[in-house]
Amino acid sequence: MSTVSLIRAESYELQELRQSLLKLLEPLGGIEAIVKPGDRVLLKPNLLTGSRPTKECITRKELAYCVAELVQAAGGKPFLGDSPAFGSAKGVAKANGYLELMTELNLPIVEFHGQRYETVSEEFNHLRLCKEAMDADVVINLAVA
């Protein structure tokens, strides 16, 4: 049986958001149940476009920052990546204020491009996954909800 944890975050202030994430992860065993020391962890936010900061079409930078902190505290090695609809991941991240926070954590931003792999499953033989996701030990999707 799967466990789902869902809460409503009341603030994007870093300390409050961090506490909300800890509460969210508690029923799952905490971040340590997901990330092991040394794991390469892809943080995959929605970086659609750089033209609408804080208009909820991209994942808030504060969320990516707090999750990256938790991953690092668990001994993981996070990196950020996406394939935006417009521009590059780094360009969209910069336009949305990500770079200062990501630089503080020494968090690389990678572009999803180049060689792609097909999955080996018969049921999903049409699904193509990027090399960066395939090479990660853990993928944490930071979708806009």
CATH C-level class of 14-142: alpha beta
Give exposure, 94-103, as e/b (b: 16+ Cβ within 10 Å). bbbebeebbe
Locate the domains of the chain by residue range: 14-142
pLDDT bin (cut points 50, 70, 90) of residue 10 is confident
Q: How far apart are CA 78 and CA 5, in angstroms?
A: 22
Q: What is the pLDDT of residues 29-75, one digit of tens each?
A: 999 999 999 999 999 998 876 665 556 678 889 999 999 999 999 99
Q: What is the pLDDT of residues 81-113, one digit of tens each?
A: 988 877 888 888 888 888 998 899 999 998 887
Give the amino acid at 55. Answer: K
Cα–Cα nearest to 66, from 90, 98, 91, 36: 98
Residue 133, pLDDT score: 83
